[in-house]
Amino acid sequence: MKRKLIAAIGVATMIVGIAACGSDKKDDDKKASSGGDKAASASSITVWLTVDAQHNWPELIKTADDALTAKHPGLKVKHEYYAWPDKNAKLDAVLATDKAPDVVEMGNSEMVPYMAEGAFAEVDPSKFDNSAQWLDALKQSVTYDGKTYGVPYYAAARIATWRKDIAAASGIKAAPKNWTELTADLDKIQSKQGPKFNAWYQPSRDWYAAMSFVYDAGGAIAANEGGQWKGSLESPQAIQGLTAWKDAMGKYMHGDLTKDESDRYIVYGQGKSDLIFAPGWEGPSAADPKFDKTGGKLKDNLENFVMPGPSGKNLPVFLGGSDLAIPTKSKNADLAAEWINDFTNTAGQKVLMSKGNLPNNNTQLETLKSDPASAVTATAAGSSWFVPTAPGWGTVEKAQTLQTMLQNIATGKASVQDAAKTADEAMDKVLNVKN
């Protein structure tokens, strides 16, 4: 499945008044798994999912519905499906009313401002299958101020994809296993193909890729110090990671240094690049006849491998994915929690895995590492990072603070140190302010 917006989607602007329109704090603090009187009297629950679920695993939806209604005879499960660009605007609008859905699917990077505003009910992780083994980045995405406000649904990871035919033309017989091998291979490819060729096509504004270098070096975008979030891109570790990223860009990226990653697969299809570090769907999309301008060479020559990092370990990846949350205004929180577990339990994860997704937990992720079709993505997902769970993170994304910093570094407008300082100062103004 080509989930193009899974990680690229930004955090939506919160509506004014979610907190004001919610229930009182005493009710808000109750976990979604408590109580049972409402479950006995409810006639229906409403579940909001994206069209990905509707189109790609409707059988899993039916299985979860059947499991819940078998336990609660007469109960109906109603579904509404939304496209990613439309979902949050509709959710914001309905949260201002008394007609909130009982379950809503969220992109994992969308969760923070909603959790900070008290829009989602706290849940008890022990009530959900495999919660002790949730993937670290997904667990972070549903955690705010030490409490859990959602359940990881499934995941997707970034991998390296290159052209075997171009590598072979430079005498390279196998994919690189570490950073030294990777850079040596890219040096050969760059020399062979000439200065206008991108040995590695890496859009400068792709902050998901650049921040992987920061985390690989032991740095972070921001850190929580005594309950306050502060930008940490000026730390020695972050500067080391950003410098490694800049050096790679300077050597191997010869395209437009002001672009983002939104059309990377289209650019890759033009045949003027060898390597991309991107979600796994991008290589096959570039090989689609609509985008492949190489005369069909991409289809049989693409090879995936786990991206190595300068640290000597696998490069940590931003783990995109979806979570399921229960709005605080749900009148059927207990039933909602039951449905979520029926949908995301071990059997449900097997269905999602069969559709090309990564599971929400490490136990089942391990089983994918022995399958050649999924081994690369599953292995890459084993080392991941996530955005700061700060109240104002949505403002940082909306302002494109990281993208601006990276473009300024790549184009030479600012040094790594100066650009990082400017980004930290911008983040410090908003990270602790609720959207």
pLDDT digits (tens, 9 = 90+) for 276-306: 999 988 999 999 999 999 999 999 999 999 9
Instruction: Report CA dihedral (325, 327, 333, 337) to the nearest 10 degrees.
Output: 0
**Measuring CA to CA, which residue among 17, 5, 9 is closest to residue 435?**
17
pLDDT exceeds 70 at position 28: no
Q: Residue 23: pLDDT band by 50, 70, 90 thresholds? A: very low
pLDDT tens, 165-206? Answer: 999 999 999 999 999 999 999 999 999 999 999 999 999 999
Report which of 325, 328, 326 is spatially closest to residue 23, judged by C-alpha positions: 328
Residue 76: the pLDDT is 98
**pLDDT of 161 higher than 70:** yes
Report which of 271, 250, 270, 279 is spatially closest to residue 358, judged by C-alpha positions. 279
DSSP 15: P
What was the pLDDT predicted at 8?
A: 32
Nearest to 113 by CA among 388, 400, 318: 388
Domains (range + CATH), the chain: 18-157+319-385 (3.40.190.10), 158-317+391-430 (3.40.190.10)
Q: In the predicted model, is pLDDT for residue 12 greater than 50?
A: no
pLDDT(241) > 90 = yes
- With vertex at residue 210, the alpha carbon angle to CA 190 and CA 263, rounded to the nearest 5 degrees, is 70
Q: Decide which of 21 and 128 is more confident.
A: 128
Q: How many other β-carbons are positioned within 10 Å of the β-carbon of residue 311?
A: 18
The answer to whether the beta carbons of residues 167 and 191 sit under 8 Å apart is no
pTM of the model: 0.81
Locate the DSSP E strands across 43-165.
Answer: 44-50, 76-82, 103-107, 143-144, 147-148, 151-156, 158-163
Parallel/antiparallel/unpaired status of strands 228-231 and 222-225: antiparallel
- Residue 233 pLDDT more than 60? yes
Q: Give the model's pLDDT for residue 434.
A: 83
Q: What is the rounded distance in angstroms from the CA atom of residue 246 to the CA atom of residue 231?
A: 20
pLDDT number for residue 31: 56
- Please report which confidence band the pLDDT of residue 16 belongs to, taking 50, 70 and 90 as the band edges: very low
Task: State the pLDDT at residue 79.
Answer: 98
Tens-digit pLDDT profile for residues 329-379: 999 999 999 999 999 999 999 999 998 899 999 999 999 999 898 999 999
pLDDT score of 56 more than 50: yes
With beta carbons less than 8 A apart as the criterion, state whether 192 and 169 touch.
yes
CB within 8 A of 23, min separation 6: which ones?
328, 329
Give per-residue pLDDT as tens, 78-125.
999 999 888 989 999 999 999 999 999 999 989 998 999 999 999 999
Q: Residue 382: its pLDDT value, please?
A: 86
Our CA angle for 162, 297, 200, nearest 5°, is 25
Q: Quote the CA–CA distance of 19 and 434 in Å, as a whole number.
A: 11
At 308, the pLDDT band (50, 70, 90 cuts) reads: very high
Here the tokens at position 323 are 């979570």
pLDDT of residue 96: 92
pLDDT category at 408 given cuts 50, 70, 90 is very high
pLDDT of residue 394: 85
